[in-house]
Amino acid sequence: MISTDLYKIIIAFRGMSVYAILCLVPILVCSCSVKYAFNGASIDYTQTKTIAIADFLNNAEYVYPPLAQNFTEKLRDTYTRQTRLQLLKSEGDLNLEGEITSFVFTPMAIAADSYASETKLTIIMRVRFSNKANPEDDYEKQYSAFQTFDSDRTIEEVQEELTSIMITEICDNIFNDTVAKW
């Protein structure tokens, strides 16, 4: 059997805990804010509303004709799908420009007959990024990606598929460096 004094203490404590919870919950809810962005972008849309992505030029020695257009379109598509930024032709709050500097096939593994059994395709891009709201984020950087393929396949058979994979990889890296800050 519980004594009356202990019973009064339990009742008083129960009442205080209800009041404490009722007071603390609004404070915690109002003081904490969590921002979820499932695309990884960390953009302050009050300061940054637009992005301009210039057409990338193909200055590589070996030119794969659709590469520059495919890359530019994929980069624009990456930003329009994963952010709320408005795409402009020039003078955005964020600006991306650059060129393809290298598109190279390199023999890799040498087989017993002294011919290459594997070939590596490498793409290198030079990218310039500027952020009007935060000029300290501005940079110029090279991005590269490569894929290997069996040498029994021709360049014409593989270059569309492999460039598509490499373009996606480079676009993701640029996106992460510019707005995701990973």
pLDDT at 54 over 70: yes
Q: What is the pLDDT of residue 4?
A: 67
- For the chain, give the percent of residues with pLDDT over 90: 56
pLDDT at 6 over 90: no
**What is the average per-residue pLDDT within 55-84?**
94
Which stretch, 40-49, 107-116, 119-128, has highest mean pLDDT?
A: 119-128
Q: Enumerate residues 6+ apart whose C-beta is below 8 A from 111.
A: 117
CATH of domain 50-180: 3.30.160.150
The residue with greater pLDDT, 181 or 30, is 181
Q: What is the pLDDT of residue 5?
A: 65
Residue 104's SS3 state is strand
Q: Which sequence spans correspond to the domains of the chain?
A: 1-34, 50-180
Q: What is the pLDDT of residue 40?
A: 52
Plot region of 109 (φ>0 → left; ψ -120 to 50 → alpha; else → beta): beta
| Angle between the N-to-C axes of helices 67-82 and 155-175, in degrees from 0 to 180, rounded to the nearest 10 | 40
Tell me the H-state helices in 32-63: none
Q: What is the pLDDT of residue 66?
A: 94
User: Would you list the DSSP string of 118-145?
Assistant: EEEEEEEEEEEEEESS-GGG-EEEEEEE
Q: What is the pTM of this model?
A: 0.74
User: Using 50, 70 and 90 to split pLDDT, how confident is the model at 39?
Assistant: very low
